Structure 1
Amino acid sequence: MKAPLKSIVRRTGWPTSVSRPVVTPLQPSVVYSSPDPDALDAQYADASGYTYAREGHPNAEVLAEKIDMLEGVDPASGGGIITGSGMSAIGAVFLGLLKAGDHVLGGDQLYGRSLRLMAQDLPRLGIETSLADPTDASAMEAAIRPNTRMILVEVVSNPTIRVADMEGIIAMAKARGILVVVDNTFTTPAAYLPLAAGADITVHSVTKLLAGHSDATLGYVATQDPDLRRQINDANVTWGLTPSPFDCWLAERGLHSFHLRHRAAQDNARRLADALADMPGVAKVLYPTRSDHPDHNRAVALLGGQGGNMVSFALHGGREAANLLTRAAPDIAFAPTLGDIGTTLSHPPSSSHRGLTPEGRAALGITEGFFRVSVGVEDADLLISELGAAVAAASKGA
């Protein structure tokens, strides 16, 4: 005898057990049931429990708490917020804290989409923007306006690997009551802690090295100020910037190996940078701990001697050489991303910074032969050999 259909479609409780799962359960439910209207009212009044996944769900909370530990976030602030992407984390900050007539000052070497947001999207909302050199706190100070509400900087710029004068910028902003927002994606909490350094807000593209496997798209934003946190979270929920439980579950799994991956990738990056510098056909190499880096002394002091896993270099020969190099390195993924467990190769003129004019890219030092390498954890000798052969092929062909 078949059970009545109505019995099958009724939701049942979760099986109980005296033991508990070692792995965090994946909870994909979009909605949560409450016992009665009074209980639901109480939940909304004290922000306890879960009601609707756009307003929060267990997998996002677990992930946020773990990144909070890395970033040194005080639980009393309410904790970090997980968003649907790195750009949505920045978007939640802007949407939650800015209004028409405010001015945002950005570093002039931000990630390409952040630059687009500053140049095109915020002005459409009546928010003024401008850019200045973050490696020079006096240049940032000169760009301050009476209505400046916020400064957005990357500690290490994408993709030019310049190191911001964080101490100078934070001190200058604090003296004027201006919020400092730090994109800590490149640096990661292993090398720099923005909130401990005095910044007001830290953001991440969790998609990158924190998650580490190119299979989850997420962002993170945190502050020690509960009021700022509330405003940012309201924007996150209202604009629907919240993440999927599955991506949060994947990212938490990746986060467990973050320190091991960071250490291995950083060691590989240091070796690769030195090897590239000795290769004919390479015009320049950018890596923070190399003595020829323009911000070497600041990088050593600010980052404790950690150079990270990102290396940039430029070829002689322009676009032709760039095409030849990528074709000659088929086992190194040519992809517009970073932070994967394996090495990826990116060409900013055709990806992250394609929206800039050639003159705009040239002003940042991004030529047609410019590459950014997100170094992974594979054998360093293999990586150096593969890229060395590709550089040689590009030099010969160009």
Structure 2
Amino acid sequence: MGNSMNDSSALGRLGFNSRAIHAGQEPDPLTGAVAVPIYQTSTYKQDGVGGLRNGYEYSRSGNPTRTALEECLAALEGGARGLAFASGLAAEDTLLRALCSPGDHMLLPDDAYGGTYRLVARVLSRWGVEFTAVHMHDTAAVAAAIQPNTRVIWVETPTNPLLNIVDIAALAEVSRQHQTMMVVDNTFASPYLQQPLALGADVVVHSTTKYLGGHSDVVGGAVVTRDAEVGEQVAFYQNSMGAICGPFDAWLVMRGIKTLGVRMDRHCSNAAQIVRFLGQHPAVSSVLYPGLPNHPNHEVAARQMSGFGGMVSFRMRGGEEAALKVCELTQMFTLGESLGGIESLIEHPARMTHASVAGSPLEVPGDLIRLSVGIEDIEDLLADLTAALA
């Protein structure tokens, strides 16, 4: 590949999987190593007082391994700047403090991830940021909820755990008309299935813990901005607040990204077959999946996503007790929080990932089960669910 991978125009001509493998990841110029080295260092020798070598002085401000990941993230999302953080919530917190000031207002999905709601409602609200929870899949409702001091429209699509779909392009137009910043949490879809910046969003966030890392062995987060100036602003806050991604964690996420495309193909394939199975099971009252023709926003999902993802939620006819029992009985589906790994997980959102929204407008149904469908053999996954649902 030579030095061509350092050329953004050359990167733009490459397919997704090629960018995932090569963007920001040139062979090491000293040794020729094809894997990016782990620069496990806190500081760097300077060439004289104030003479930084290739811009590095201290690893909170910049680290070559993290730089490689950040360049790769920007290339995958088609953004001007990528930034890697210690966790998805660290990325969200830093971004919102960079975009908002005390007295500003933001719109939040009324079915947002519980951790995002907790951050906004219990942390940023004490700092003076106001918020309104709104049906993000209803573009007219979003437009009506915008206030003179609204600074950010925060979007998840698909949402966690109800798998609602937001029309990114339509909402981006509303955001432009009202001069707000539109942020899309792209964790569930991944950049392989969905490109929010190309659809008009201003910023994309990720928990890289999930599909980007893909192996349940790292915690991380990411911000990718469409505009370079916004990226510089977030980078200032990243350095000032310090919740950066360590070099080994950056390396693990990069390793995961290399196989993102092939993993997502298998996640989607397995999920589609599980959805068909659940839709015919007498113990299941409803299946929530954007790939279903009866999903209320199926047409939007089909238009803005290249696949429907590996996340599946369903509701039990027997209520919460039946849902808890299924969660306890599966064996191939491991009972655990998080998602997006190669192994299949099952959880009860009301008592696990979304316990923080109990009693709020974002409370999720007790009969709901969420699956993160892995890449195991589909026959084994179906057998496991069959036994648990019996």
Structure 2 length normalisation: TM-score? 0.89
Counterpart Cα distance in 1 of 2:177 and 2:362: 33
Deviations 1:32-59 (A, max 9, x none): 111211414xx7xxxx421111111011
Deviations 1:42-80 (A, max 9, x none): x7xxxx42111111101111111222221112xxx3x20
Counterpart Cα distance in 2 of 1:205 and 1:166: 19
Maintained 8 Å contact 1:361/1:367: no
Maintained 8 Å contact 1:349/1:361: no
The residue correspondences of 1:125-164 to structure 2 (distance < 5 A) are 125-164=127-166
Deviations 1:136-184 (A, max 9, x none): 0100011100011111101210010000122221101101111101111
Maintained 8 Å contact 1:29/1:53: yes
Equivalent residue, structure 1, for 2:32: 20
Counterpart Cα distance in 1 of 2:186 and 2:370: 17
CA separation of 1:18 and 1:38: change in aligned 2, threshold 3 A: closer
Maintained 8 Å contact 1:111/1:157: yes
Equivalent residue, structure 2, for 1:352: 353
CA separation of 1:98 and 1:358: change in aligned 2, threshold 3 A: closer
Counterpart Cα distance in 2 of 1:162 and 1:230: 32
Report the 3-state secondary structure (helix = DSSP H, G, I; strand = E; otherwise coil) of the residue aligned with 1:130.
Answer: strand
Counterpart Cα distance in 2 of 1:389 and 1:25: 46
Report the 3-state secondary structure (helix = DSSP H, G, I; strand = E; otherwise coil) of the residue aligned with 1:314.
Answer: strand
CA separation of 1:361 and 1:122: change in aligned 2, threshold 3 A: closer
Equivalent residue, structure 1, for 2:56: 50
Report the 3-state secondary structure (helix = DSSP H, G, I; strand = E; otherwise coil) of the residue aligned with 1:311.
Answer: strand
Counterpart Cα distance in 2 of 1:351 and 1:360: 17
Counterpart Cα distance in 2 of 1:267 and 1:38: 54
Report the 3-state secondary structure (helix = DSSP H, G, I; strand = E; otherwise coil) of the residue aligned with 1:56.
Answer: coil
Equivalent residue, structure 2, for 1:268: 270
Equivalent residue, structure 1, for 2:325: 324
The residue correspondences of 1:219-298 to structure 2 (distance < 5 A) are 219-298=221-300
Counterpart Cα distance in 1 of 2:308 and 2:358: 30
Report the 3-state secondary structure (helix = DSSP H, G, I; strand = E; otherwise coil) of the residue aligned with 1:338.
Answer: coil
CA separation of 1:37 and 1:19: change in aligned 2, threshold 3 A: closer
CA separation of 1:166 and 1:224: change in aligned 2, threshold 3 A: closer
Instruction: Give the share of equivalent positions with the same residue, in percent.
Output: 35
Counterpart Cα distance in 1 of 2:183 and 2:116: 12
Report the 3-state secondary structure (helix = DSSP H, G, I; strand = E; otherwise coil) of the residue aligned with 2:357.
Answer: coil
Q: How many residues align?
A: 363
What 5-or-longer segments of structure 1 have no aligned partner? Answer: 1-15, 393-398
Equivalent residue, structure 2, for 1:376: 374
Counterpart Cα distance in 1 of 2:361 and 2:29: 61
Counterpart Cα distance in 2 of 1:83 and 1:174: 28
Amino acid at match of 1:311: V
Amino acid at match of 1:247: D
Equivalent residue, structure 1, for 2:51: 39
2:73 to 60, 63, 67: 67
Shift of 1:17: 9.1
Maintained 8 Å contact 2:332/2:380: no
Amino acid at match of 1:30: S
Amino acid at match of 1:312: S
Maintained 8 Å contact 2:332/2:381: no
Report the 3-state secondary structure (helix = DSSP H, G, I; strand = E; otherwise coil) of the residue aligned with 1:82.
Answer: strand
Report the 3-state secondary structure (helix = DSSP H, G, I; strand = E; otherwise coil) of the residue aligned with 1:114.
Answer: helix
Counterpart Cα distance in 2 of 1:330 and 1:358: 31
Moved beyond 4 Å, runs of 4+: 16-19
1:199 to 198, 201, 210: 201
Amino acid at match of 1:29: T
RMSD: 1.7
Shift of 1:359: 6.5
Report the 3-state secondary structure (helix = DSSP H, G, I; strand = E; otherwise coil) of the residue aligned with 1:204.
Answer: strand
CA separation of 1:309 and 1:35: change in aligned 2, threshold 3 A: same
Amino acid at match of 2:204: T
Maintained 8 Å contact 1:56/1:242: no
Counterpart Cα distance in 2 of 1:17 and 1:190: 29
Amino acid at match of 1:36: G
Maintained 8 Å contact 2:350/2:366: yes
Equivalent residue, structure 1, for 2:171: 169
Shift of 1:256: 0.9
Counterpart Cα distance in 2 of 1:39 and 1:389: 65
**Based on CA coordinates, which of the two structures has the bigger radius of gyration?**
1
Report the 3-state secondary structure (helix = DSSP H, G, I; strand = E; otherwise coil) of the residue aligned with 1:285.
Answer: strand
Maintained 8 Å contact 1:88/1:219: yes
Deviations 1:220-266 (A, max 9, x none): 11112222111111111111110111111111111111101000110
Report the 3-state secondary structure (helix = DSSP H, G, I; strand = E; otherwise coil) of the residue aligned with 2:69.
Answer: helix
Counterpart Cα distance in 1 of 2:265 and 2:140: 34
Report the 3-state secondary structure (helix = DSSP H, G, I; strand = E; otherwise coil) of the residue aligned with 1:376.
Answer: coil
Maintained 8 Å contact 2:111/2:362: no
